[in-house]
Amino acid sequence: MALYSTITHHRSYLRAMGLAAAYLRNPQRLRQLLARAQARAAGGPGSYLAAIGDKLSIPLRLLKAWLSGEYREIPWRSLLLITAAIIYFVMPIDLMPDVLPLLGFMDDVALLTWTISQIRSDIDHFLAWEQQQALPAPAT
């Protein structure tokens, strides 16, 4: 728990929180952020990519659905937390700079884990919505 507290009080995370609302209010900027996050996750070391996989893919899918207007059942605070975590993830210099092999990604994984735990019910609602969208339409 101390690592989460350290990260969430670090100037890099505070900066990410300060930028989150601006990203959410600018669809083009948010799309660019999501693309950067996906590219960064795809380029990470193997064990890191495995650790970050689901932790990043769910928030990315949620933000994409929100951005497209398909999914809007999420509080603003949760959107801010997700967006800040993704901004932090793409920052090369944060609590543990990403140039440090593997160690530099530990804070990113920890922050994504903490963020998801903070908005668990919103994530669960989104996953249920996603499953419902995947069901075939009833025959008429």
- Name every residue whose Cβ is closer than 8 Å to that of residue 40 and which is 6 or more positions away in sequence: 89, 90
Please tell me which residue, 98 or 117, carries the higher pLDDT value.
Answer: 117
- Asked if residue 101 has pLDDT above 90, the reply is no
Nearest to 84 by CA among 119, 51, 50: 119
In a domain, residue 138? The reply is no
> Looking at the 3D structure of the chain, how many domains does it have?
1
In a domain, residue 137? The reply is no
Task: Calculate mean pLDDT across residues 25-54.
Answer: 77
In a domain, residue 140? The reply is no
In a domain, residue 67? The reply is yes
pTM given for the model: 0.84
Binned at pLDDT 50, 70 and 90, residue 78 comes out as very high
Which three-class secondary structure state does DSSP give residue 102?
A: coil
User: What's the CA gap between 136 and 27, in Å, rounded?
Assistant: 30
Binned at pLDDT 50, 70 and 90, residue 99 comes out as very low
Please tell me which residue, 49 or 90, carries the higher pLDDT value.
Answer: 90
